[in-house]
A and B are shown apart, each in its own frame.
Chain A
Amino acid sequence: MTDQYHNEPMLELFIFESMQLIEQMEQLIIANEKFESYDSDAINEIFRIMHTIKGSSAMMLFNNVSTLAHSMEDVFFVLREDKPQNIDSSQLSDLVLEGIDFIKVEIAKIRNGDEAEGDAAALIESLRVFHATIKAQNYTVRDQEMKDTATSQGYSAPKKQQYYISKVRTEPQSYSSSFQATLYFEEDCGMENLRAFGVVNDLGDLVKEYYHIPADLDHEDSAVVIQEQGFTLFLKTDRSLEEIHRTLSQTIYLKDLQLTQVKNCEPFEDLHEERKILLNDSAKIFASSSGERITIDQKESYSSASQQSIISVSVAKLDQLMDLVGEMVIAEAMVTQNPDLKGLELNNFEKAARQLRKITSELQDTVMSVRMVPLTGTFQKMNRTVRDMCKKLNKDVRLELIGQETEVDKNIIEHISDPLMHLIRNSIDHGIEMPSDREMKGKPRWGTITLEAKNAGGDVLIIIRDDGGGFNKAKIMSKAREKGLLQVPEDEITDKEIYNLVFLPGFSTNETVTEFSGRGVGMDVVVKNIEAVGGAITADSVPGKGTTLSLKIPLTLAIIDGMNIKVGDSRYTIPTTAIKESFRPKTTDIIVDPDDNEMIMVRGQCFPILRLHERYHVNTLVNNFADGIIIMVEQDDQTLCIFADELIGQQQVVVKSLPAYIKHTKKVTGLAGCTLLGDGSISLILDIAGLFTVKKTG
Chain B
Amino acid sequence: MSRLDKFAEKAMRGLASRTSRRSFFAVLGGSLAGAGAIPALPVSRASAATPGATMPNPQDPGDPHSCDYWRYCAIDGFLCSCCGGAVNACPPGTEMSPITWIGTCRNPADNRNYIISYNDCCGKAPCDRCFCDNMQGERPLARTQSNNDTVWCLGTSSQAYTCSTAIVVGVATDKKQ
- State yes or no: do A and B come from one complex: no
